[in-house]
């Protein structure tokens, strides 16, 4: 089977602002304008296509990103400098902490639109 996720649409109050926010936070290339989307391209070929919701509220979704140890240090540092709330768990019971659930590190935080974001250095279940 060759099924792969190619892209998904991310709801945003303002597509460009949110795409730039994510690329800045994760240290990614500047988003590209593609039709009425602002596209963020990830290393595994998946694209996040940010779309403005207009007058409709943004419904929060969970997005998890697998990153390297070095990238984790950089993202975690940006979260701390920006005074973003972080949690070690999705239930937000352990504020200000990171987790080591699968042998390395992970942290949860909210995007500028309220999406539930997670960065992990090892996939669930470990390597």
Where do the structural domains in the chain lie, given as residue ranges? 1-58, 60-127
Q: How far apart are CA 123 and CA 127, in angstroms?
A: 6
End-to-end Cα spacing for the chain? 22
Note the pTM of the prediction, 2 decimals: 0.94
Judge contact between 89 and 108, C-beta under 8 A. yes
What is the CATH architecture of 60-127?
Answer: Roll (3.10)
Residue 116: exposure state from Cβ atoms within 10 A (0-12, 13-18, ≥19)? middle
Write down the pLDDT at residue 10: 98
The pLDDT confidence band at residue 127, using thresholds 50, 70 and 90, is low
What's the CATH class of domain 1-58? alpha beta
Write down the pLDDT at residue 119: 98
Write down the pLDDT at residue 89: 96
DSSP state of 63: E
Q: What percent of the chain has pLDDT over 90?
A: 94
Write down the pLDDT at residue 42: 97
Is the pLDDT confidence value at 3 over 80? yes
């Amino acid at each position: 089977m060759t099924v792969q996720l190619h892209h998904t649409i991310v709801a945003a109050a303002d597509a460009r602002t949110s795409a730039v926010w994510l690329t800045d936070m994760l240290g990614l290339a500047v988003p590209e304008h593609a039709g009425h989307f602002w596209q963020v391209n990830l290393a595994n070929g998946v694209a996040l296509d940010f779309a403005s919701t207009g007058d409709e509220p943004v419904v929060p979704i969970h997005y998890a990103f697998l990153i390297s140890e070095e990238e984790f240090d950089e993202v975690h540092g940006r979260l701390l400098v920006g005074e973003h709330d972080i949690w070690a768990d999705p239930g937000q019971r352990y504020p200000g902490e990171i987790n080591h659930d699968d042998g390395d590190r992970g942290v949860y935080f909210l995007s500028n639109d309220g999406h539930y974001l997670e960065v992990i250095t090892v996939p669930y279940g470990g390597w």
